[in-house]
C-alpha cells in the first residue's frame, strides 16, 4: 500500500526595511504610548487614592509597583501567545484586558480592589501587548533596525509628555473615576494597534536569504519536521487503525513539546546568559533616579515647580536619545559596534548617578537631567537590537519575554531598598550610589566578557584551535532548528510527494 509522505520546505526571508514596516513602527509607537506612558501616569492618581481611601503613601505606591512588575513578569506569556498564534492576536487580547482593568478600576471600592484591577489585570494586558509589538518591529527591519526601534520606543517619552497634563485635567474635570474610565477607552486603542501588525507574507520568488543575525554567527534554520518513521511490522487491520490513531496523537504531542523546547534554546547560549546577568544589574539601577530625583531636588532646596521641570526635561531628552542614538547606530561605521554603543550609554548613566550628590542646585541638576535622559533613551532603544544581535531574529520574541521578565523583581524591590537607604542614612547619597554602581556593573560585565572573547578569538586564530563542541552556538546544523507556528517570521511551502 502506497503511503504519502509530506516534506516541508521552509524559505527563510530577509526583512524588507520599509513599506508596511513603517506602519508596524507606528503601531508599536502607539503600543508604547498606551502601555508605558499610561503606566507612568498612574502615579498622578496617588494623591487622589490616598485622600479617597485614607491609606499612607507606601500602601498606595504598591499600585504603581504592581503595574510595572506584572507587565514585566508576564512578558514571557505575551511572547508565548505571540509565537503560538500571532503578534496581532496577542496585542488585541492585551488591549481588551488592559481596557477592562482600567474601566473596572473606575468602580473601585478599596485599595485592594485597585491592586487586582489596576495592578494585576491591567498589567497582564500591557504585558501581552508590549513584548509582541516590539518583537514585530525586528521581523520587518534589518538594515535600519536601530532607527526603527528608536522611533517605536520614543512613544514612552512622548506619551508621558502629552498624557501627564491631560490626565491631570481629566482628574480636575471628571474626578479620578472619570479619568480612569477615559483612560480605559484610550487603552482600547491597543486593539487598533494590534490590527496593524500584519504578518509578513512573501511570494517565493521575492524572498531573499536570511543573514546570520546572531552574534555567535550561526544561521537559524527551520526544520524539515515530520513524524519519525518506525520499522515495518506485520499488523492486522484493527492494529493498524489503533496504531495510526495513537501514533498521530503521540507525534503531535512530542512535536509540540519539541517546539516549545527549541523556542527557548537560546537560554543555553553563554552570550545570552551574560546579557541576562547584565540586565539584572541594569534593572536594579535604572528606576531609582526616576523615583528619587524630585525628592532629592526638593531636599536640596529646589522649588516644587523647578523639580517637576527637571522631570519634564528628562522625559523630552529621553525622546531625542531614542531616535538620535537609533539613527547613529544604524550608520555603517557604527553598526558593527552597536554593543559598544549600548555599553557606553549604560556606563554614562551610571557615572551621572555617581555625581548627582555633588549637584545641589537647580542650575547644576539641569545638566544631569539632560545627560541622564539622553543616555536612558539611547539604551532603551538598543535593548531589542542588542538582544536580536545575540540570539537572532527568529528567537527575538521569546528572548524579549525573558529579558523583560528579568526586569520585574528589580523594578519591584529597588525603589523600597532605595527608600530604606534614605531612611537609614538620612540623605540620598547611598541611594544614587546604588543606582550608579548597578548601572556601571551592568556595563562592565558585558565589557569584560567581550574582552575575554576577543582575546580567546585572537588566541584561537594564532594557534589554529577549534571552537569547543559544547558551545550551543557551535552545534551541528541538525541541532540548529527553530520551530514555530508563528507566521510573522517565515513563509512555509508544503509539497506532497508520493
Higher pLDDT pick, 435 / 312: 435
Coil, strand or helix at 477: helix
Report DSSP state, residue 117. I
Dist CA 232 CA 332 (whole Å): 57
For 343-384, write each residue's pLDDT tens digit.
999 999 999 999 998 999 999 999 999 999 899 888 888 888
CB 94 within 8 A of CB 197: no
CB 175 within 8 A of CB 63: no
Grid look-up 569584560 returns 448
- Stretch 319-332: mean pLDDT: 82
CB 171 within 8 A of CB 46: no
Kindly tell me if the per-residue pLDDT of 261 is higher than 70: no
Higher pLDDT pick, 58 / 275: 275
> How much is the pLDDT for 419?
82
> How much is the pLDDT for 262?
66
Dist CA 382 CA 10 (whole Å): 30
Kindly tell me if the per-residue pLDDT of 33 is higher than 50: yes
> How much is the pLDDT for 412?
80
Using the CB atoms, write b or e for 198-225: b if 16+ within 10 Å: bebeeeeeeeeebeebbbbebebbbbee
Coil, strand or helix at 334: helix
Please tell me the least confidently modeled range out of 21-30, 295-304, 388-397, 466-475. 466-475
Q: Residue 497 pairs with which residues in a beta bridge?
A: 5
**Structural element, H or E, at residue 190:** helix 189-196
- Stretch 187-191: mean pLDDT: 94
In the numeric block, which cell numbers belong to residue 420? 530604606
Number of residues that this document lists for the chain: 498
In the numeric block, which cell numbers belong to residue 410? 528589580
As a whole number of Å, the end-to-end CA separation of the chain is 11
For 433-491, write each residue's pLDDT tens digit.
999 999 999 999 988 888 887 787 777 777 765 554 444 444 433 333 333 334 344 43
Q: Which segment, 98-112, 248-262, 477-491, is predicted with the most confidence on average? A: 98-112
Which contacts qualify for 207-213: CB closer than 8 Å, 24 or more apart?
Answer: 207/11, 207/12, 207/13, 207/14, 207/491, 208/13, 208/14, 209/12, 209/14, 210/12, 210/13, 210/14, 210/393, 211/14, 211/142, 212/392, 213/142, 213/388, 213/389, 213/392, 213/393
Kindly tell me if the per-residue pLDDT of 200 is higher than 80: no
> How much is the pLDDT for 336?
77
Percent of the chain at pLDDT above 70? Answer: 76
> How much is the pLDDT for 14?
52
Dist CA 199 CA 57 (whole Å): 45
Average pLDDT, the chain: 77
Question: In order of start, what are the domains of the chain with their CATH numbers?
Answer: 1-211 (1.20.1250.20), 255-487 (1.20.1250.20)
Report DSSP state, residue 209. P
Kindly tell me if the per-residue pLDDT of 406 is higher than 60: yes
Grid look-up 499600585 returns 63
Higher pLDDT pick, 263 / 31: 31
Supply the pTM of this predicted model: 0.68
Q: How many CB atoms lie within 10 A of CB 265?
A: 20
Percent of the chain at pLDDT above 90? Answer: 24
Amino acid at each position: 500500500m502506497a503511503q504519502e509522505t509530506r516534506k516541508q520546505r521552509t524559505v527563510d526571508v530577509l526583512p524588507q526595511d520599509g513599506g508596511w514596516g513603517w506602519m508596524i513602527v507606528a503601531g508599536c509607537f502607539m503600543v508604547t504610548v498606551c502601555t508605558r506612558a499610561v503606566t507612568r501616569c498612574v502615579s498622578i492618581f496617588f494623591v487622589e487614592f490616598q485622600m479617597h481611601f485614607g491609606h499612607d503613601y507606601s500602601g498606595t505606591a504598591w499600585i504603581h509597583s504592581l503595574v510595572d512588575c506584572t507587565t514585566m513578569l508576564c512578558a514571557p506569556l505575551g511572547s508565548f501567545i505571540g509565537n503560538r498564534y500571532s503578534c496581532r492576536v496577542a496585542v488585541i487580547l492585551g488591549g481588551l484586558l488592559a481596557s477592562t482593568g482600567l474601566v473596572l478600576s473606575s468602580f473601585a471600592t478599596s485599595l485592594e480592589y485597585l491592586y487586582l484591577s489596576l495592578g494585576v489585570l491591567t498589567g497582564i494586558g500591557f504585558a501581552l501587548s508590549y513584548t509582541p509589538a516590539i518583537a514585530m518591529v525586528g521581523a520587518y527591519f534589518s538594515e535600519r533596525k536601530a532607527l526603527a526601534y528608536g522611533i517605536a520606543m520614543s512613544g514612552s517619552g512622548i506619551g508621558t509628555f502629552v498624557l501627564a497634563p491631560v490626565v491631570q485635567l481629566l482628574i480636575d474635570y471628571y474626578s479620578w473615576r472619570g479619568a480612569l474610565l477615559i483612560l480605559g477607552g484610550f487603552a482600547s486603542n491597543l486593539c487598533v494597534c494590534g490590527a496593524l501588525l500584519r504578518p509578513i507574507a512573501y511570494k517565493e520568488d521575492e524572498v531573499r536569504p536570511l543573514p546570520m543575525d546572531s552574534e555567535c554567527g550561526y544561521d537559524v534554520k527551520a526544520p524539515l519536521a515530520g513524524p519519525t518513521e518506525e520499522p515495518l511490522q506485520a499488523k492486522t487491520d484493527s492494529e493498524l487503525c489503533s496504531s495510526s490513531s495513537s501514533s498521530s496523537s503521540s507525534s503531535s504531542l512530542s512535536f509540540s513539546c519539541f517546539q516549545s523546547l527549541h523556542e527557548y534554546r537560546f537560554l543555553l547560549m553563554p552570550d545570552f546568559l551574560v546579557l541576562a546577568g547584565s540586565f539584572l544589574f541594569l534593572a536594579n539601577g535604572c528606576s531609582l533616579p526616576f523615583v528619587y530625583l524630585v525628592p532629592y531636588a526638593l531636599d536640596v532646596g529646589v522649588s516644587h515647580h523647578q523639580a517637576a521641570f527637571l522631570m519634564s526635561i528628562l522625559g523630552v531628552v529621553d525622546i531625542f536619545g531614542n531616535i538620535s542614538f537609533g539613527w547613529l547606530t544604524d550608520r555603517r561605521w557604527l553598526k558593527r559596534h552597536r554593543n559598544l554603543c549600548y555599553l557606553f550609554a549604560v556606563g554614562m548613566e551610571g557615572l551621572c548617578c555617581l555625581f548627582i550628590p555633588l549637584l545641589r542646585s537647580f542650575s547644576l541638576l539641569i545638566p544631569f537631567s539632560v545627560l541622564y535622559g539622553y543616555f536612558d533613551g539611547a539604551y532603551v532603544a538598543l535593548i531589542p537590537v542588542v538582544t536580536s544581535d545575540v540570539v537572532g531574529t527568529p528567537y527575538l520574541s521569546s528572548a524579549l519575554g525573558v529579558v523583560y521578565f528579568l526586569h520585574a523583581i528589580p523594578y519591584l524591590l529597588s525603589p523600597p531598598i532605595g527608600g530604606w537607604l534614605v531612611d537609614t542614612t538620612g540623605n540620598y547619597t547611598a541611594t544614587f550610589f546604588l543606582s550608579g554602581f548597578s548601572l556601571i556593573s551592568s556595563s562592565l560585565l558585558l565589557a569584560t566578557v567581550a574582552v575575554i572573547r576577543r582575546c580567546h578569538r585572537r588566541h584561537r586564530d594564532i594557534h589554529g584551535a577549534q571552537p569547543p563542541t559544547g558551545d550551543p552556538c557551535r552545534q551541528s546544523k541538525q541541532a540548529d532548528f527553530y520551530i514555530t507556528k508563528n507566521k510573522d517570521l517565515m513563509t512555509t511551502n508544503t509539497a506532497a510527494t508520493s
